[in-house]
Structure 1
């Protein structure tokens, strides 16, 4: 896989603090950088009322200096003021234009409407894709979806901070940083241990494993985990425990780089001690930088209205290896209730609820601002923005993947996830691939 140049654009406006998004956003943006390859380039732009380059575009070398420097700048961010998306895109574009690399992309994370600068949809670059992340549904989703569509990027929706790491793992694949082999959220009770298989195909010279978690007070340990501690264990295909320090350790994440790993089924595990909330919430991602097996999913149309049918195209490509024994699993995550249903169901409570001031400052209407106040008040016992997962029948053949028709009968954000498991026939080794994409339905 050739080198890539990435500009990471991070929202640091006041509302990132109001909803508790700032720290997870910093953790997940930092984890993303740790899986980038030598010769890749990374730069970081932070934006509030004005945007600023907090780390100029630099090339990653084997000494990891660039990665550590970029992460340290991200750690310093704190929420302040408004949201200037237009200026952030302009600075990211200027940064990437300075490189001769044709493989470039911007990653834009925001939780709110633009409230400073001009309309970000005007004057968009035509030569660089923007992968957008809408963190929470507070009026910005249609804008971020349009930003991605107009620049040939990809739109992603994160209903809360727990989805964010999974999205960054997917964007690593979208932006050609690495092929995503595992992308799984984990919810583990105190004193419990869970494992995931990691299939390393024959000929893999490098595999990365990243684990991050929501609660920054949880600390990584190499021994038996105690209070608010987690141990990440690795075993090779022979069942031997791999004793090696993580390549990167940060607040809320660890990343391992396995060089020339033995082909076959590895095992990765999360071993938890006594968690303060009695649960560990993290995400496991595994990445193959030089894979020839690619899972591509694309929506024929992202400008959709309630009642439209989803046209999902899925192709499993293999440039060098014959593959078989394919198992495919597709799910769609959708809102349980439409906004109209929620407003009717909670109309009495809404009348007596004060609107969220941070959202009002961002230009969100009073009703939506009241909804968000009510949402936070009723959690964790009631989630008025609850979501449901439904299986979607899918069949694999040499002609491609056939999905059953998916009718989107409710407005809001829908997320489609496709997971594939198969065998490389020449070496009889398994592989996994995962894909995630979102659509905002009006």
Structure 2
């Protein structure tokens, strides 16, 4: 959500920031609606005040036996009473229109975000690790994974495309990855573990920016709740409609949850394999902090995600997303892309975003700085630490052997019950 006062005071800067997002200028329409809404509120306040004033004057006129004045005042009060409902209805309508207009506009990019239309304009910040040199042609996980327990056919019979069932040693490896990530983020990196709801109301998805614009990417239940597309929704909304104590900041939260996405906007992309599923697990990171701390918190969160990849010895690169590739709620995003040998390229495994006060305004989440009377909006950040399914794909492909087996990374040994290698049956 955007600060209407900022738009009033900086319309040219607002439109310039939107232009970097590839959007047409919007300040003129917003300010016209805002001006009408404020005029209506002023007229309502004046009308209410005059009605109260005239009502008192009626009694005074009656006491003075000035019946002509009393009748004139009664007529004025009646006219005001008739006029007020229409004003109130128009005030509500313009207010809702203004809210809807502001809610549909993405966050403004930070100054250091590169401008560009799509992922081609993203900027590589750095790389870690060297891709493994294979003495054989590395296979796609979708080709050798089924022999190790990655069951696409069985899941398709149950649920259709973009679902998978993990069986035996494959399920154990997936669970090991998830538990390793969760333990690392909640232990070494100091994020508080949360087991949040998977079903949320409209307000929660509005707060983090998925609604109203991206409803088609979500799954909705028959009672009007939504399956979360990421634990970011549940975790961030834990502070909605609150004034958080300044001394409790920053709040750092993590959760391992299933995530559900319809993938409506990705038709034809990654239809094979385990990369893009309707249901997947992810370890999510969320931070809630003071505005002056959000840039440092962004760095810290990204390092927490990178640490998982480094511990698993998976080569990756860090990308700064351009304005055209950045998410709706983000003001700045880094993507971590892991190396996949079968594709000979890097693929996204984590997005780490600083949303500034954009989500906090939608949630009305604030704090009161020490020594100040007024509250301020919090800053929120979120990132994957990591997507478990994509981490599984990366481990399978980077640790695959010529005989079709997969070596288990050393970091996962405590979670594998003595299994050091996935083998074909």
Bigger helix fraction: 2
Bigger strand fraction: 1
The structure with the largest alpha-carbon Rg is: 2
Question: What's the TM-score bracket when you normalise by the shorter of the two chains?
Answer: under 0.3
Q: TM-score with structure 1 length normalisation?
A: 0.24
Q: TM-score with structure 2 length normalisation?
A: 0.24
